[in-house]
Structure 1
Amino acid sequence: MAERTDHDVDVEVLVIGAGVVGVYALYRAIDAGFSARTLEAGDGVGGVWYWNRYPQARFDSESYTYGYLFSKELFEDWRWKEEFATQPEIESYLNHVVDRFDLRRHIHTGQKVASAVYDEAANVWVVTTEKGDVVRARWVISATGGLSVPHYPELDGLDDFAGQAHHTGAWPHTPVDFAGKRVAIIGNGPSGAQLLPAIVDVVASVDLYQRTPTWTTPLNNGPLTDERHRWLNDNWETVVKVLSTSPSGFLHEPAGKFSTADSPEQRQAFFETMWKAPGFGKLTMNYYDMTTNRELNLEFCAFLAGKIRSIVQDPVTAERLIPTDHLFGAKRPPFVADYFESFNKPAASLIALRETPIVRVDATGIETTEKHRDYDIIVYATGFDFGTGALTRMGVQGREGLDLSKGWEDGPADFGGFSAHQLPNFFFPGGPHGAGGGNYPRYSQDQVDWITATIVYAREHGFDVFEPTAAHQDAWMSMIETLAPKSIFSAEHSHYYGANVQGKPRKFLLNPGGRPKLHDMLGEMSSTENYTGAFRKKVVNDAHH
């Protein structure tokens, strides 16, 4: 399709970010006939899979469910090596997609956005990069994601350490040599839990600093067999249908029953099956009432605690690794290999920060209330400023003086998890309230599909502005606030509430209604006069035309 041009702008659609969602947004915009460009802060494509390159960084969603579904040929031709691929393979896949669909010429790397300001008179977004380049765009799709701003712990002396210090979310491109080194890992979420087993056999020592234990369970990875690859290709239509419509965005077969269908003994046997289930299958393939029946969840937690005690040889360490403040799934559970087994290795130790908090970091290591420990390498596996972090740091200024860094000081307000009142023609798929606890790319690509359809609709009907009304936004936020307390992810001390960032308001940052509620509300908006109520013609002085 020939590119359409708009002489008011440098480009019709500007995408910010070349991660999984940004690459898809660029592809869809070009495929729909818009002139499009991407600005990417990194020096390559991949987004989170460009920056997170620590040892054993990998998917915990099955590789073929995380990748793209817009091309059957792409799906068939790309052969994943493992059920859950590692970072190098993921980065290779995304580069393959960019080159296969001739997208690289539209992507400008090394261009971190410093500001995005809406010129209301011209109905144009003026986007400026840190290098001083300026792009004028009619539509902006900020695909910066919820996991793009690494969060460092609020500790005294962070800059005083004389050894190597790395955040898992901003890992160097040159390999870090852990052999014979004294290492501290601060954080026990997915990245800390992946890194520990990857280095425990080569370091002189490794101390994992844990603030709150999490319900870590086995990933149960394996090679992607020829038989599995053939089955996926032979069942392409079914695979796409399930991944595009299921609440979780996975191919997992649900248990098909409530816990009341089984005796206590049968439930224990079923829990054993769940222990061996792949990744998120422990949530999606579990009893229907696992996420709503507190007593059942406690029973499963007791089963998991028994597993931890049976694996970890030191009983004191085992007890410190067992969560006591949240149910299974209330926090984002890590799915990894050999995490608990690592604590049986002579090099590994667990430092429980609730018992011995860190006092400060200094030139040679870390001082806790118990003692000082010397290190060669400190790894901060402390997560991200989730949901709002990138958007509030990007200098976004919308209509009527909306400054996002101030407007969202008390928490984000949006519609659909990807648009907001007073931000005309500005979208942020995968932003706050932009995930429902399932397979992240499936959910975000639903949003991109809707965004693309919306700007095509505007083009076809002569509209130049799309902006959710205050009523649209209020309805969406009312749903968020009503359902949040009922969500399985409702532990208010988790990053889903921004609790990992000191001073950040405690606001629920997921969509507690999940993918079904997103589809319902977008469908309702698209099929009524509410949809056209969000569109208008631009008001400009056309004398210069």
Structure 2
Amino acid sequence: MIMEGVDVGVVRRGGDEGPELDALVVGAGFAGLYQLHLLRARGFSARLVEACEDVGGTWYRNRYPGARCDIESTAYSYSFSPELDQEWEWSERYAAQPEILRYLGHVADRFDLRPHITLNTRVERAVYDEDSHLWTVTTSAAWTVTTRFVVLATGCTSAVKDVDVPGIESFAGRTLHTARWPRDEPVLAGERVGVLGTGCSGVQVVPQVAARAAALTVFQRTPVYALPAHNRPLPADEIAATKADYPRYRRAQRASRGGTLFTPPTRSALSVGAGERTDAYEEGWRSGVLSGLLRTYTDLLTDEAANETVASFVRGKIRDSVTDPDTADALSPRTFPFGTKRPCLESGYYAAFNEPHVRLVDLRRTPLVEVTPRGVRTTEREHPLDTLVLATGFDALTGSQTAIDVRGRGGATLREKWSDGAANHLGLVASGFPNLFTVLGPLSPSVLSNAVTAAEQHVEWIADCLVHLRRHGFTEIDATPQAEREWCAHVAALAERTLYPSVDSWYTGANVAGKPRTFLAYTGGMVEYRARCDAAARDGYAGFALARAVAPHTDPVPGATSP
């Protein structure tokens, strides 16, 4: 029951023994806001719960200097509303965090979502009742709610990975984390700052810190392939042309392999001469697009020899950008193929290492021993610091879901089920956890696609599914064990055709101690994935078991008559 005095906007309908909600959505990022909007538009009582002080999800938490999207703003935005497309204007090719946050706030206001959102509240526990087909959800705000369905829109990269650095708690200076950056911008002028971590967050924050700090030391465990963003303001004529073309573009975007538009390659990198290959790579490099280089040839992610041609090209660009040869060499990846860890878009990252007050510490050569009260000690020396910035990454794809104590059939927990690797059907429902949907979760295209486009597909499929259940009087949907096994095998088989599984990355969970090592995303592309999801729905939700609650007091899914 909801605690007395806690206004969460829930109105009980259908008698005291029915659920208080049709659906509870968890997470107020791109996916959660659209899910709330669509469910309410289709007549369901729905509420969204968000742990932060405002909407935005990842874009609320990650407010570190330099944070911005790495997919062009005109594509990394909602496609469901033509009116929204016309009224919103992006200022840059790659919008920075404050602008994306304003956009999401605008969406919440424009579609009147805020009255149905509970902020500053974390979902801690969800327990399923097999007789009534209801979830009882407990929150950090000491209230509980019963709901027919739960949608976890908790984000691909929102669960911050535990910091596995000895002595971190002993540091006497200031410690900042890129994913928990304070709202009041810290003053770094005159300080000795260290940045630990050189993934995408580190690549973005380093140039900004370099511009502010008296001295910057970057502690690198693994170098990254970073490509130039070529970011720029969007002129008025380009904005007008984009808006005029949006109807066509949005249709094409939804029908694309990854949620962005490009001409697919047709040839192997090894089938052309070195000069022609270099020309193609130069064009991809100049494009300022995250996947610009990977779009040049068909086999860059399936053939090691082909991949080495593009990896070598990028290393050459790093050498051209960094003055000191030893530093350039340390910044050049050689232990994994290009693209098998998410590449980054950079704006001044490599150039920062040409500044006299910026130093790179290669932890492969001089490993980190511990953090001390004064700074960071490696096998070579102690590096005195005033502020330490942690850009150490996330427990991606599964961490935000297993952070909740989810208990399905027989009291089994989602953590237990996924202890040997994530398993579900179509990336949407894990067998044994009925009426629990995941958006952008494991075994879906998620992080290998434009996350906004992928989220819209998930959200719309879930909303359509709930309408189908309501129309036919079903109160439960669960993935069948066989369909789940087949989907997991299919995802794994597709991944094995690529170079991805051979690499220790957050794509495989290898960055989190004790996490099972499996490739966590669907490599078949959005077109094939959408077709499989649509086929399951068209065939009466094949691969899923639909049921009606046996409890005599429980009505079919409450809500308005189906549209």
Name the CA distance, whole Å, in 2 between partners of 1:44 and 1:284: 36
1:466 is matched with 477
1:539 is matched with 550
Instruction: Indicate conservation of the 8 Å contact 2:137/2:146, yes or no.
Output: yes
Q: Is 1:479 the equivalent of 2:490?
A: yes
- Among 174, 193, 201, the alignment partner of 1:191 is 201
Name the CA distance, whole Å, in 2 between partners of 1:59 and 1:80: 12
The alpha carbon displacement at 1:252 in A equals 3.4
2:44 counterpart letter in structure 1: F
2:424 is matched with 414
1:445 counterpart letter in structure 2: E
Larger mean CA deviation between 138-147 and 251-260 belongs to 251-260
Larger mean CA deviation between 175-184 and 487-496 belongs to 487-496
The alpha carbon displacement at 1:296 in A equals 2.5
Name the CA distance, whole Å, in 1 between partners of 2:313 and 2:185: 39
| 3-state SS of 1:117 partner | strand
1:219-266, CA deviations, whole angstroms, 9 ceiling, x for partnerless residues? 121112222212221112211112111011113344565546743212
Name the CA distance, whole Å, in 2 between partners of 1:512 and 1:304: 23
Q: Is 1:366 the equivalent of 2:372?
A: no
Q: Is 1:30 the equivalent of 2:43?
A: no
Sort the Cα spacing of 1:72 and 1:488 in 2 relative to 1 into closer, same or farther, 3 A.
farther
Name the CA distance, whole Å, in 2 between partners of 1:274 and 1:346: 31
- Among 416, 419, 436, the alignment partner of 1:426 is 436
Sort the Cα spacing of 1:459 and 1:210 in 2 relative to 1 into closer, same or farther, 3 A.
same
The alpha carbon displacement at 1:533 in A equals 5.0
Structure 1 segments unaligned to the other structure (5+ residues): none
2:525 is matched with 514
The alpha carbon displacement at 1:289 in A equals 3.0
The alpha carbon displacement at 1:316 in A equals 0.6
- Among 152, 161, 172, the alignment partner of 2:182 is 172
- Equivalence map 1:242-257=2 (5 Å): 242-254=252-264
| 3-state SS of 1:272 partner | helix
2:358 is matched with 348
2:288 counterpart letter in structure 1: P
1:142 is matched with 152
Name the CA distance, whole Å, in 2 between partners of 1:196 and 1:202: 10
Identity of aligned residues (%): 37
The alpha carbon displacement at 1:525 in A equals 1.4
Name the CA distance, whole Å, in 2 between partners of 1:46 and 1:472: 34
| 3-state SS of 1:162 partner | coil
Q: Is 1:156 the equivalent of 2:166?
A: yes
Larger mean CA deviation between 43-52 and 517-526 belongs to 517-526
1:496 counterpart letter in structure 2: Y
2:28 is matched with 18
- Equivalence map 1:60-209=2 (5 Å): 60-209=70-219
| 3-state SS of 1:97 partner | helix
Name the CA distance, whole Å, in 2 between partners of 1:194 and 1:31: 38
The alpha carbon displacement at 1:83 in A equals 0.9
Name the CA distance, whole Å, in 2 between partners of 1:533 and 1:146: 24
2:4 is matched with none
Name the CA distance, whole Å, in 1 between partners of 2:340 and 2:270: 22
Name the CA distance, whole Å, in 2 between partners of 1:232 and 1:468: 41
Instruction: Indicate conservation of the 8 Å contact 2:443/2:488, yes or no.
Output: no
1:404 counterpart letter in structure 2: L
| 3-state SS of 1:301 partner | helix
Instruction: Indicate conservation of the 8 Å contact 1:331/1:491, yes or no.
Output: no
1:334 is matched with 344
Larger mean CA deviation between 256-265 and 102-111 belongs to 256-265
Instruction: Indicate conservation of the 8 Å contact 2:160/2:179, yes or no.
Output: yes
Q: TM-score, normalised by structure 2?
A: 0.93
Instruction: Indicate conservation of the 8 Å contact 2:198/2:224, yes or no.
Output: yes
Q: Is 1:387 the equivalent of 2:397?
A: yes
Name the CA distance, whole Å, in 1 between partners of 2:511 and 2:543: 40
Sort the Cα spacing of 1:31 and 1:40 in 2 relative to 1 into closer, same or farther, 3 A.
same
Name the CA distance, whole Å, in 1 between partners of 2:554 and 2:349: 67
2:233 counterpart letter in structure 1: P
Name the CA distance, whole Å, in 2 between partners of 1:491 and 1:94: 37
Sort the Cα spacing of 1:465 and 1:50 in 2 relative to 1 into closer, same or farther, 3 A.
same
Sort the Cα spacing of 1:532 and 1:289 in 2 relative to 1 into closer, same or farther, 3 A.
closer
Instruction: Indicate conservation of the 8 Å contact 2:281/2:293, yes or no.
Output: no
Larger mean CA deviation between 518-527 and 216-225 belongs to 518-527
- Among 465, 468, 490, the alignment partner of 1:454 is 465
Name the CA distance, whole Å, in 2 between partners of 1:432 and 1:544: 32
Sort the Cα spacing of 1:153 and 1:436 in 2 relative to 1 into closer, same or farther, 3 A.
closer
Instruction: Indicate conservation of the 8 Å contact 1:4/1:34, yes or no.
Output: no
Instruction: Indicate conservation of the 8 Å contact 1:65/1:251, yes or no.
Output: no
1:466 counterpart letter in structure 2: I
1:432-473, CA deviations, whole angstroms, 9 ceiling, x for partnerless residues? 123261111211221111111100100111111111111221
1:454-497, CA deviations, whole angstroms, 9 ceiling, x for partnerless residues? 00100111111111111221111011221222234334310111
RMSD in angstroms over aligned alpha carbons? 1.9
Q: TM-score, normalised by structure 1?
A: 0.96
| 3-state SS of 1:135 partner | strand
- Equivalence map 1:172-321=2 (5 Å): 172-254=182-264, 258-259=268-269, 262-283=272-293, 285-321=295-331
Name the CA distance, whole Å, in 1 between partners of 2:276 and 2:14: 65
Name the CA distance, whole Å, in 1 between partners of 2:501 and 2:341: 8
2:314 counterpart letter in structure 1: L
2:512 is matched with 501
Instruction: Indicate conservation of the 8 Å contact 1:53/1:173, yes or no.
Output: yes
1:87 counterpart letter in structure 2: Q
- Among 429, 440, 447, the alignment partner of 2:451 is 440
Instruction: Indicate conservation of the 8 Å contact 1:397/1:403, yes or no.
Output: yes
Instruction: Indicate conservation of the 8 Å contact 1:19/1:45, yes or no.
Output: yes
| 3-state SS of 1:328 partner | coil
Sort the Cα spacing of 1:341 and 1:6 in 2 relative to 1 into closer, same or farther, 3 A.
farther
Instruction: Indicate conservation of the 8 Å contact 1:415/1:477, yes or no.
Output: yes
Instruction: Indicate conservation of the 8 Å contact 2:156/2:447, yes or no.
Output: no
| 3-state SS of 1:81 partner | coil
| 3-state SS of 1:373 partner | strand
| 3-state SS of 1:26 partner | helix
| 3-state SS of 2:301 partner | coil
2:334 is matched with 324
Instruction: Indicate conservation of the 8 Å contact 2:224/2:343, yes or no.
Output: yes
